[in-house]
A = this chain, B = another copy of it.
Amino acid sequence: MVRALRHSANAPPQVASGSMALTVVGSIAYDSVRTPFGHRERMLGGAATHFALAASFFDEVRAVGPVGDDFTDADLAILATRGTSTDDVERVAGGETFFWAGEYGWDLNSRDTLETRLGVFETFEPKLSDASRDADTVFLANIQPDIQQAVRDQCTNARFVAMDSMDLWIDIAKESLEKVISSVDCVILNDAELRQLTRKPNLVAAAREVLSWGPKAVVGKQGEYGAALFTKDGFFSLPAYPLENVIDPTGAGDTFAGGFVGYVAAHTDQEINHDLLVRAMAYGTALASFNVEEFGTERVARLAPREVLVRVAELERITRFTDVPLELRG
């Protein structure tokens, strides 16, 4: 396996040692989406897809999830962008690929689900190959928590396991969900979901509660407002990259997770501490900003590394301030 190429300004690119790669388990889907700026029928989507497209900038990704007979080779090729392995994408004979249809409101901050057809996900039991099981980084995308647990338990070599979830599982499978959370290193949820999960209306209190269950890091995704990171060592907040043209937010959260977890996957030879996760936040944020500029996977599939780096540098610039000493009255 080839390590994500990376180097500091003064050091040559490092060569990988030991087991590498990043395994993501989650939905590979067809989405029909309508926003105020257009619509798409049955475009490639799904949490694992969006995640893999972003994470593949950082490390070799292995996508695990089921598709139906209706899933095209062209879409499998998109999933394989930047070398993502689709060996563990299970084609279920006679099955239908997970389908979601939704419509967004005028400012893209609200959306209605028009239809969800689980298809092959109804009976999904993830079968991980040895290679997928050996990954040193794992992302459990939003699926039923017992399935997440089964995957987590198989990945005994992982140095960093992160997970997402959704309001549905908080409602109907809270106990299972809390169990998975206690077994991972990082939880990435929408801020409203963190509040719902902990029944704490305050985001800081909610995140601290989740940290007390076991994870070393909690990320609260805040949509167009950005994301906040909570670890035992501190807090970090990053706004979303400012965009004048946002076309389709579908998959933005999973793309963020792909950039964030991907960045960690490229650094598992280092201590995974607060400062490393802070930088990972910037890559997640940059990747997510490209995702929303076009429908579905369109923008990130053809994104160039240089574009990502430029946007990370821009994020650094537009969030930095340096106070000048000032004597206040009073």
Contact = CB atoms under 8 A, between A and B. Distances in A.
Contacts of A234: 318
A240 to B, nearest CB: 8
Interface string A183-226: 00000000000010000011111001000000000000010111
Contacts of A330: 56-57, 82, 303-305
B323 A279 contact: yes
Given A244-B202, A244-B204, A330-B305, A9 B325 contact: yes
Interface residues of A, number: 67
B59 A319 contact: no
A7 B57 contact: no
A74 interface: no
Given A36-B201, A204-B242, A225-B226, A316 B326 contact: no
B239 A329 contact: no
Given A106-B201, A204-B242, A237 B328 contact: no
B242 A83 contact: no
Copy count, this protein chain: 2
Interface stretch (A142-150, A151-159, A306-314): A306-314
Interface string A228-259: 10000011111100111110000000000000
A321 B57 contact: no
B4 A318 contact: no
Given A205-B244, A208-B244, A244-B202, A238 B327 contact: no
A80 B304 CA distance: 58
B242 A328 contact: no
Contacts of A308: 328
Nearest to A286: B323
A312 B323 contact: yes
A120 interface: no
Nearest to A278: B321
A303 B204 CA distance: 23
Contacts of A123: none
Contact of A323 (B4, B266, B282): B282
A103 to B, nearest CB: 14
B239 A201 contact: no
A58 B204 contact: no
Interface in A281-298: 281-282
Contacts of A7: 325-327
B316 A328 contact: no
Chain B CB count within 10 A is highest, among A57, A107, A235, A329, for A329
Contacts of A195: 107
Contacts of A303: 330
Contacts of A15: none
Contact of A237 (B13, B83, B319): B319
A73 to B, nearest CB: 21
A239 B242 contact: no
A318 B235 contact: yes
Given A6-B327, A234-B318, 9 more contacts: A5-B327, A8-B325, A9-B325, A107-B201, A235-B318, A238-B239, A279-B324, A316-B321, A319-B321
7 contacts: A58-B329, A203-B224, A228-B242, A282-B323, A303-B330, A304-B330, A313-B323
